[in-house]
Amino acid sequence: MTIQDSRPDPRQTLEVAIGRQVRTLRKRLNLTVANVAKQAQLSSGMLSKIENGLTSPSLATLNALANALHVPVTALFRGYEEQRDVTYIKSGEGLPIERRGSGAGHQYQLLGHTIGKPYTIEPYLITMSDKSEVFPVFHHAGMELIYMLEGKVTYRHANKTYTLEPGDSLFFDAEASHGPDEILRLPCRYLSIIVSQSPDS
């Protein structure tokens, strides 16, 4: 599992990101530094410093540059805003996790997690490959989405059961008791995505 943190890299500060975006937009329009500097009423030297991330432009300067490049001001921040958490997992390489259902033959693979957000998202790939007559009952904070990939199972939520086959989904309040009720066809594989408020928020 490879996780990229969204916290700013010293090599990718806001100034550097804005500079790269200005240069990209300028080149896309086939404009020279002198052309854009003139339209934005800046010196070529100042524009060069901005493009190289060597100075922090004022809002007025950013507005002038956006007008010269025919884009909204927000477009100049796009490169910085796109620095976000990302998790890339090759097939079969999810992080094995021990959870309450592990003792009942459930295999959990964590497919990613959030970093430094006011909410927590836990996506799991759950596999049941052995027939089991005893299933744990889960209840926890947040909301949960189950999406069936393979097999067939009846899934209980509170006092109701639902038959899930490939392509079926179940979205529910996870504070109510829930969990598999009966395996009807093996192997069973489904995605479970749990969303809850971060304990630190």
Based on the fold, state whether residues 96 and 186 are members of the same structural domain: yes
Tell me the pLDDT band of 8, cut-offs 50, 70 and 90.
very low
Based on the fold, state whether residues 12 and 101 are members of the same structural domain: no
Based on the fold, state whether residues 95 and 193 are members of the same structural domain: yes
Report yes or no: 37 and 31 within 8 Å, Cβ to Cβ: no
Q: Helical H runs in the chain?
A: 14-28, 33-39, 44-51, 59-69, 78-81
Residue 201, pLDDT > 60, answer no
Based on the fold, state whether residues 53 and 117 are members of the same structural domain: no
Tell me the pLDDT band of 188, cut-offs 50, 70 and 90.
very high
Determine if the pTM surpasses 0.85. Answer: no
Residue after which a domain boundary falls, among 35, 63, 81: 81
- CATH number of residue 154's parent domain: 2.60.120.10
Residue 74 identity: T
Q: Is residue 14 part of a domain?
A: yes
More confident site: 199 or 160: 160
Based on the fold, state whether residues 192 and 99 are members of the same structural domain: yes
Provide the residue range defining the domain that includes 169: 91-197
Q: Is residue 148 part of a domain?
A: yes
Based on the fold, state whether residues 61 and 107 are members of the same structural domain: no
Q: Quick one: residue 158, left, alpha or beta (phi over 0 = left, psi -120 to 50 = alpha)?
A: left
Residue 69 identity: L
Based on the fold, state whether residues 38 and 99 are members of the same structural domain: no
Based on the fold, state whether residues 175 and 129 are members of the same structural domain: yes
Whole-number pLDDT of residue 142: 93
Q: Is residue 86 part of a domain?
A: no
In tens, the pLDDT along 29-72 reads 999 999 999 999 999 999 999 999 998 888 889 989 999 999 88
- CATH number of residue 67's parent domain: 1.10.260.40
Whole-number pLDDT of residue 104: 60
Count: domains in the chain: 2
In tens, the pLDDT along 115-126 reads 667 888 989 999
Based on the fold, state whether residues 45 and 110 are members of the same structural domain: no
Based on the fold, state whether residues 57 and 148 are members of the same structural domain: no
Q: Is residue 59 part of a domain?
A: yes
Tell me the pLDDT band of 3, cut-offs 50, 70 and 90.
very low
Q: Is residue 71 part of a domain?
A: yes
Selection from 113, 25, 7, 143 nearest residue 75 by Cα: 25
Residue after which a domain boundary falls, among 48, 81, 114: 81
Tell me the pLDDT band of 9, cut-offs 50, 70 and 90.
very low
More confident site: 161 or 75: 161
Based on the fold, state whether residues 65 and 138 are members of the same structural domain: no
Residue after which a domain boundary falls, among 81, 114, 131: 81
Residue 187, pLDDT > 80, answer yes
In tens, the pLDDT along 125-178 reads 999 887 666 678 899 999 999 999 999 999 999 999 999 999 999 999 999 999
